[in-house]
Structure 1
Amino acid sequence: MSSEYERLLRETAAAIPYLAFLGIRFETAGNELTGVLPYAPDLIGNPLIPALHGGVTAAFLEVTAITGLVWSGLRQGVIAVQAPVILPKTIDLTIDYLRPGTARDAFARARINRSGRRYASVHVEAWQDEPDRPFAQATGHFLMQRG
């Protein structure tokens, strides 16, 4: 995969302060994009379990879905390889909290169900130890922005 795509992806993520605050980053392997949420004590919502805050989980899922759409658009040539990238806008996002996210790193991957000129539908899952055992998942619909 082009290092130019990866550079643009890093620049886009760096331009979003909330990503830096949460520590979210993205890793690529071939055509696959994985979101990484490194564990930090500030991300815990329930210290008794301890479990990741639901808002942190939701943000992680949403930003992974949006970044997955950008990554896919770059690879398909639908999004120009130039900064700044115009990000898709969230129409709605439905989150299923399947089990507590515990005090360790989390990972997420998006699957694009449909991506057209104006609209996209994405499913994203987050896990910690095993990709086949997600702790949260989301389905989102996005308004595609074309520059």
Structure 2
Amino acid sequence: MAEHPDIVLLTPYARSLGIELSEWEDGVPVMRVEFVEAVEGRPEHFHGGATGGLLETAGYAALRAELAERGRDAVLKPINITVQYLSAGKSQASFAKGRVTKLGRRSANLTVEAWQDDRTRPIATAVMNVFMGEPED
């Protein structure tokens, strides 16, 4: 899969949290967010909404990379997103990576994992269903 940073389009919300592209891993973008005031919930812990935002951003980034690899362009709209919070995010950087589990003509299913220092111990996971509309000319 191609590794093009311009594939990873960040929403204003993602940019406001400080989410950025960390690296490409096996052709899939890994997203990162540092622990800053904008993501803090209770003292020295990530806010659940910031964790959800990181998961969602990583999911869309993985889908855009897959679509680019296939030469497809689409307007992405969420159908649903289910987040499972597994443990509290502490005051350090968090990472997330998505995986396209099914890519259809009009919809896609994804799974996403977020972790901090130990990738084998995710702090949260998500399942996403995304509608893919035709781009407007």
Would the TM-score normalized by the shorter structure come out above 0.5? yes
Q: Deviations over 1:21-72 (max 9, x none)?
A: 111111324513101112213311011xx21001111111111111110011
**Which of 126, 130, 133 does residue 145 from structure 1 map onto?**
133
Any gaps of 5 or more consecutive residues in structure 1? 80-85
Alignment partners' CA distance in 2, 1:2 and 1:58: 26
Number of the residue aligned with 2:58: 64
**Which of 17, 28, 41 does residue 24 from structure 2 map onto?**
28
**Is the CA contact (8 Å cut-off) linking 2:102 and 2:108 kept in structure 1?**
yes
**Is the CA contact (8 Å cut-off) linking 1:51 and 1:100 kept in structure 2?**
yes
Q: How far 1:2 sits from its partner (Å)?
A: 5.1
- Is 1:42 the counterpart of 2:38 in the alignment? yes
**Which of 102, 121, 136 does residue 133 from structure 1 map onto?**
121
Higher helix share: 1
Any gaps of 5 or more consecutive residues in structure 2? none
Alignment partners' CA distance in 2, 1:29 and 1:92: 26
Number of the residue aligned with 2:7: 9
The aligned amino acid for 1:37 is V
Q: Deviations over 1:60-90 (max 9, x none)?
A: 11111111100111122223xxxxxx54111
- Is 1:96 the counterpart of 2:94 in the alignment? no
**Runs of 4 or more consecutive aligned structure 1 residues displaced over 4 Å after TM superposition:** none
TM-score (ref. length: structure 2): 0.89
The percent of aligned pairs where both chains have the same amino acid is 31
